[in-house]
A and B are shown apart, each in its own frame.
Chain A
C-alpha cells in the first residue's frame, strides 16, 4: 500500500518511473522555457506542442504497419517521439515560411500552424481508431498526458534527453544570452545567429517531445513558460534564472505526482463510494501555475504586492512632504493652528490629524497646545522641497519652453522624486537661479 512518504516516490517500483520521469521532463522544459521566454517566443512552444500531435499518431500508425505489439513500450515510445519531432519541425518550417516568405504576421502564422496541425492530428486519430485500435489507445495518452503508466525505460530515455538539453544550453550559454538580448549586435560580433536559432528550436522540440507523454500536447506549453516566468521574478542574473526555473520545474513535477496520489487517497477515504482519478499531468501544470502566480504576487522585488506597498508608501511620502510644505509657507517659528492646515487639504480631518501626529512623532513637526510648528529638521526638509519645486519650474520654463501658468502642476509631481544627484545637475544646468518663473525666491541649498 502506498503510505505517501516522500522517499517512497523515488523507490517504489510503480511510483518511481512517473515521479522521476516527470521531474526530468519538468526540469528540461523549465530550462528551455527560459530561453523561449527571454526570446519572447512563448507562443512558439504552444504552436509546436500542438504540431507534435499528428506526429504522435503517425508514429503509432507506422508502428502498427510494422506490426509492433502494443505492449512493446520501448519501440512505441521511440516511434512516437520520432514522429512527434518530425511534425514539430515541419510545423516550425511552416511558421518560418509563412512569416518570412508569405509575410504573414507572426501571431497569425503561429495560430494557423497550431490549428492546422492539431486538426490534421485529430483527423488521423479518428481514422486510426479503426485501423489500429490497440495502438490508438496508446497514442491518445499523448493528448492529455498520462504519467501514471510510465515505466523505468522512460526514465532512461528522458535522462538522456535531459542531459542533452543541459549540455547544449551550457555550451551555447554565451551565444543564447547575446542573441536573446540583442540579436543585431550578436550578428555584428560574427556570431552565427541562424545556427544558434536552429539549436534553440531543436531544444524546444526535445523539451516538448519529452513533455507530451506526461502532460500532453494541450497543456505542454504551460510547462515551458510557467517556471521561467516564476524564476524571472526573483533575480536579475541569467544563470540564476536558469537554476530557479529548473528548480521550480522539478518541484512542480514532484508535487504534481505527490498531490495526485495523496489527494486521490484522501478523497477515496472520505468518499469511499466515489471513484477518483486525479491525473498527474494536469496536476503538475496546476502546481506550476500556482508557483508562478505566487511568484508574480509575492516575489520580494518585482511581486505585485510589494509594488503596491511601495506605491502606497510613495503616496504617503508625497503627502508628508506636501503637509510640511504647507507649514513652510507660514512665517518661521509661528505655531500653525490645525484649522489653518486643514483649510487647504482635501483629506479627512481624522486622517490629517493622524499624519500630522506621525510627523510630530518622527520629529519633523512640534506639537503645541495651539497647533503645530516646524522643527528645525522639518524646516530643512520642507525648504528643500520648495527649492526643488521652484528649480524644476525654472527648468521647465527655460529649457522646455513651457508656459509659466502650466508649470506649477508638473513641478508638484516632480519635487517628490528628484534625487540629490539630479538636484545637483539641475542647479548646475540652471546656473543656481535665485527666482522661479513666478518671481518667488528659490531657497538656498540647506547646509
Chain B
C-alpha cells in the first residue's frame, strides 16, 4: 500500500504500555500509533481492557510502565486537546443538575479555578446542545431524559471542550436508532474537521461501515491499522478466540504478585 497523501501527524502514540493494577483488566505491552483525522474503533471481548486502555491514556489509571503521547506531547501538556465521554452507566443520573449544567462541565477544565462561565461559554453550550438535538430538553433534569438523550448529553459535554482528540467509551451501547445516527453524523463531522475520535465498540457488524481505523484488543494488542487492512477473520479469531486463556491466567498471577497478595 502506497501513501499518496502526506503522512499525517500521530494523534496518539502508545509506547510499550503495561497496566497491571487493582481491579482493572490487565493490558500487556501495548504499542501503537494512530494518525490524526481518523475515527478509530477499539474492539475486543469483555474484560479485554478496552476501557482500561482509554482510561490509562487519559491518566485515570496509572500504568506500570510505558507512556502515551498526544501529537508528540505529554498528557499534561495536551489536557485541553482531549475530551472524554465515559460510559453512561458510570454516573448517578439522579444527580440534581439540568442538561445545560451537565454540558457546561465541559468548559470547567479551560475555565480553571475561581472563574465563572461567561456569555461565550453559555453560547457554546447552547450550540452543542442544539447540535445533538437536545434543545427542547436543555432545562430538564438529566434523569428525565431517555437513555439515548443521556448519551447525547454526554457527547455534547465532550464537544463543548472543543478538543482535537475524543475518547468515547461505548457511546452506542443501548441507544435508539435516532441517537445512533446523530452520534455517527457527529463523528463524521468531527473527522471532516480533522479531529480524531476513539470509540470503544461492541457491534462487530457495524465496524466496517463506522470506522477508518481499528484497534483490536485482548489483553494485548492484536491489530492496529486501517479497517480495510487489518479487520479480517484471522484477527477476529485472535481477538475473540480462546487461545488467550493461558496468557490471562499468567497475567492474573502477575497482578496478584504486584499487589503482594499470596497466590493460592
Which positions in A face B, CB cutoff 8 Å?
38, 40, 171-172, 174-175, 177-178, 180-182, 184-191, 232, 235-238, 241, 425, 429
Interface status of B175 (Cβ within 8 A of chain A)? no
Query: Given A178-B105, A188-B84, 9 more contacts at CB 8 Å?
Result: A177-B97, A186-B108, A188-B58, A189-B79, A189-B105, A189-B109, A237-B97, A237-B101, A238-B96
Interface of A is mostly: helix
A180 touches B58 (CB 8 A): no
| B82 → chain A closest CB, angstroms | 7
Q: What is the CA–CA distance of A38 and B94 in the complex, to the nearest angstrom? A: 10
B96 touches A425 (CB 8 A): no
Q: What is the CA–CA distance of A191 and B115 in the complex, to the nearest angstrom? A: 13
Q: What is the CA–CA distance of A293 and B114 in the complex, to the nearest angstrom? A: 36
Q: What is the CA–CA distance of A185 and B161 in the complex, to the nearest angstrom? A: 12
* 5 A-B residue pairs with CB within 8 Å: A172-B113, A181-B97, A184-B55, A185-B84, A190-B80
Q: What is the CA–CA distance of A115 and B113 in the complex, to the nearest angstrom? A: 38
In the complex, which residues of chain A have a beta carbon less than 8 angstroms from the beta carbon of B108? 174-175, 178, 186, 189, 191
| B43 → chain A closest CB, angstroms | 22
Interface status of B177 (Cβ within 8 A of chain A)? yes
Q: What is the CA–CA distance of A267 and B106 in the complex, to the nearest angstrom? A: 58
In the complex, which residues of chain B have a beta carbon less than 8 angstroms from the beta carbon of A186? 108
Give A38's nearest chain B residue, CB to CB: B95
In the complex, which residues of chain B have a beta carbon less than 8 angstroms from the beta carbon of A40? 92
| A422 → chain B closest CB, angstroms | 9
| B98 → chain A closest CB, angstroms | 7
| A96 → chain B closest CB, angstroms | 16
In the complex, which residues of chain A have a beta carbon less than 8 angstroms from the beta carbon of B111? 174
Interface status of B90 (Cβ within 8 A of chain A)? yes
Interface status of B91 (Cβ within 8 A of chain A)? yes
Contact partner, A236, options B91, B98, B161, Cβ 8 Å: B98
B109 touches A429 (CB 8 A): no
Residue of B84, B92, B96, B116 most packed against chain A (CB within 10 A): B96
A184 touches B96 (CB 8 A): no
Q: What is the CA–CA distance of A232 and B143 in the complex, to the nearest angstrom? A: 14
B96 touches A235 (CB 8 A): yes
Q: Can you list, as one digit per residue, whether each of B46-86 has a CB less than 8 Å from chain A (1) or not (0)? A: 00000000010011100000000000000000011011101
A187 touches B96 (CB 8 A): no
Q: What is the CA–CA distance of A431 and B161 in the complex, to the nearest angstrom? A: 39
Given contacts A425-B177, A425-B178, contact A185 B114 (CB under 8 A): no
| A168 → chain B closest CB, angstroms | 11
| B242 → chain A closest CB, angstroms | 26
Q: What is the CA–CA distance of A143 and B229 in the complex, to the nearest angstrom? A: 72
In the complex, which residues of chain A have a beta carbon less than 8 angstroms from the beta carbon of B33? none
Residue of A185, A190, A237, A425 most packed against chain B (CB within 10 A): A185
Give B143's nearest chain A residue, CB to CB: A236
Q: What is the CA–CA distance of A38 and B101 in the complex, to the nearest angstrom? A: 16
In the complex, which residues of chain A have a beta carbon less than 8 angstroms from the beta carbon of B161? 189
| B244 → chain A closest CB, angstroms | 27
In the complex, which residues of chain B have a beta carbon less than 8 angstroms from the beta carbon of A171? 113-114
Interface status of B141 (Cβ within 8 A of chain A)? yes
Which positions in B face A, CB cutoff 8 Å?
55, 58-60, 79-80, 82-84, 86, 90-92, 95-98, 101-102, 105-106, 108-109, 111, 113-114, 116, 140-141, 143, 157, 161, 176-178
Q: What is the CA–CA distance of A40 and B91 in the complex, to the nearest angstrom? A: 12
B141 touches A191 (CB 8 A): no
In the complex, which residues of chain B have a beta carbon less than 8 angstroms from the beta carbon of A38? 95-96
Give B109's nearest chain A residue, CB to CB: A189
Give B95's nearest chain A residue, CB to CB: A181
Given contacts A425-B177, A429-B177, contact A187 B59 (CB under 8 A): yes
B141 touches A188 (CB 8 A): no
The 9 residue pairs across chains A and B that have the minimum distance between CB atoms: A189-B109, A236-B141, A188-B84, A190-B79, A182-B91, A188-B58, A181-B95, A238-B96, A190-B109
Give A236's nearest chain B residue, CB to CB: B141
In the complex, which residues of chain B have a beta carbon less than 8 angstroms from the beta carbon of A184? 55, 60, 84, 86, 90
In the complex, which residues of chain A have a beta carbon less than 8 angstroms from the beta carbon of B143? 236
In the complex, which residues of chain B have a beta carbon less than 8 angstroms from the beta carbon of A425? 176-178
Q: What is the CA–CA distance of A228 and B212 in the complex, to the nearest angstrom? A: 49
Given contacts A187-B60, A238-B96, contact A182 B90 (CB under 8 A): yes
A237 touches B98 (CB 8 A): yes
Given contacts A184-B55, A189-B109, contact A238 B97 (CB under 8 A): yes
Q: What is the CA–CA distance of A38 and B102 in the complex, to the nearest angstrom? A: 15
B96 touches A241 (CB 8 A): yes
B177 touches A181 (CB 8 A): no
In the complex, which residues of chain A have a beta carbon less than 8 angstroms from the beta carbon of B58? 187-188
Given contacts A181-B91, A181-B95, A425-B178, contact A238 B101 (CB under 8 A): yes
In the complex, which residues of chain B have a beta carbon less than 8 angstroms from the beta carbon of A175? 108, 113
| B53 → chain A closest CB, angstroms | 14
| B148 → chain A closest CB, angstroms | 10
Residue of A40, A172, A174, A429 most packed against chain B (CB within 10 A): A174
| A40 → chain B closest CB, angstroms | 8
| A327 → chain B closest CB, angstroms | 33
A182 touches B86 (CB 8 A): yes
A185 touches B177 (CB 8 A): no
Q: What is the CA–CA distance of A181 and B86 in the complex, to the nearest angstrom? A: 12
| B56 → chain A closest CB, angstroms | 12
Q: What is the CA–CA distance of A181 and B108 in the complex, to the nearest angstrom? A: 13
In the complex, which residues of chain B have a beta carbon less than 8 angstroms from the beta carbon of A177? 97, 101, 105
| A104 → chain B closest CB, angstroms | 14
In the complex, which residues of chain A have a beta carbon less than 8 angstroms from the beta carbon of B80? 190
A181 touches B109 (CB 8 A): no
In the complex, which residues of chain B have a beta carbon less than 8 angstroms from the beta carbon of A191? 108-109
A237 touches B96 (CB 8 A): yes
| A44 → chain B closest CB, angstroms | 17
| A190 → chain B closest CB, angstroms | 4
A236 touches B86 (CB 8 A): no
In the complex, which residues of chain A have a beta carbon less than 8 angstroms from the beta carbon of B96? 38, 232, 235-238, 241
In the complex, which residues of chain B have a beta carbon less than 8 angstroms from the beta carbon of A188? 58-60, 82-84
A185 touches B105 (CB 8 A): yes
In the complex, which residues of chain A have a beta carbon less than 8 angstroms from the beta carbon of B176? 425
Give A181's nearest chain B residue, CB to CB: B95
| B164 → chain A closest CB, angstroms | 14
Q: What is the CA–CA distance of A237 and B143 in the complex, to the nearest angstrom? A: 12
